[in-house]
Amino acid sequence: MNKQVLLHLTTCAVLCACAMTNVANADPLATDRPDFVESSNTVGAGRWQIEMGLVRERGAEGESTSWLLPTLLRVGLGDSWELRFESDTFQRVRLPDGETFDGLNDLAVGLKYHVQAEPLGASLAWLVHADLDSGSAEFRGTGVRPSLRLVAEWVLNDDWSLGVMPGVVRDHDGESRYIAWIASAVIGRALSDHHRVFAEIQLPQIAATEHGGTQAAFDVGGAWLLSDDLQLDTAISLGLNERTPDWAWTLGLSIRW
């Protein structure tokens, strides 16, 4: 097994053990995975939360297949603020001719601010991130790519919820900088106090054709809350156009302490 994969799984096991021995927090954790739309909640003052996953992805029109290990670390700076470190960490790509290559992905550093006011009954949060050109040569972006997103969530009744996330990114295609947009919506249903499912439409990039065009996918998945501080999840994503990966599957674990 690749050393980076082994390290990721070992970290997962250690943190899981820590979570099992930790005194439970007052309310169940809210995660930013496995759906694309982020949660409007922050982790809370003095709390740490790590959200890890394993992703299998088939590239657009079968051009490649990949394994990724997305990881998000959230650190509570107060009741309304959290510091965020996010990366797809290790990635292995296999081309149709059998050639494989692997490396590390860029790191993103960001802040989330949960808005105390709730206009129109929505729970709101602002997220500002900066993707850094810190990964391996094969996967490294160009320069710092800042982004801004707004999350709005509504509780429709005891079982159903709705979330939307518009945003904007100042990206770089290796030759010039450009502006891309984000637009996504998710609807979720609680099956019990410990199980939920969701379906969403995500547009992680809306851009001109010369900058990669628009990407779009349809996602379905669910999460199982094992305790107030421990969650398992899974999801499947299906690409809706030729610019989007054909499909992706993820399995994840989230822990708070």
State residue 26's pLDDT score.
57
Does the predicted TM-score (pTM) go above 0.85?
Answer: yes
Question: What tens digit of pLDDT does each residue of 111-155 get?
Answer: 999 998 888 899 999 999 999 999 999 999 999 999 999 999 999
Question: What tens digit of pLDDT does each residue of 8-45 get?
Answer: 444 444 444 444 434 344 588 999 999 999 999 999 99
State residue 120's pLDDT score.
86
How many domains would you assign to the chain? 1
Domain boundaries, position 16: 3-256
The answer to whether the beta carbons of residues 156 and 162 sit under 8 Å apart is: yes
Question: What tens digit of pLDDT does each residue of 220-240 get?
Answer: 999 999 999 999 999 999 999
State residue 133's pLDDT score.
95
CATH number assigned to the domain comprising residue 67: 2.40.160.40
Greatest Cα pair distance in the chain: 54
> Which residue, chain included where needed, has tokens 């059998």?
98
Q: Which residues, listed in sequence order, are joined to residue 170 by a DSSP beta bridge?
A: 179
Mean pLDDT along residues 179-186: 98
Query: What is the full DSSP assignment across 1-48?
Result: --HHHHHHHHHHHHHHHHHHHSPPPSS----S-SSSSPPS----TT-E
φ/ψ bin of 174: left (φ > 0), alpha (ψ from -120 to 50), beta (otherwise) = left
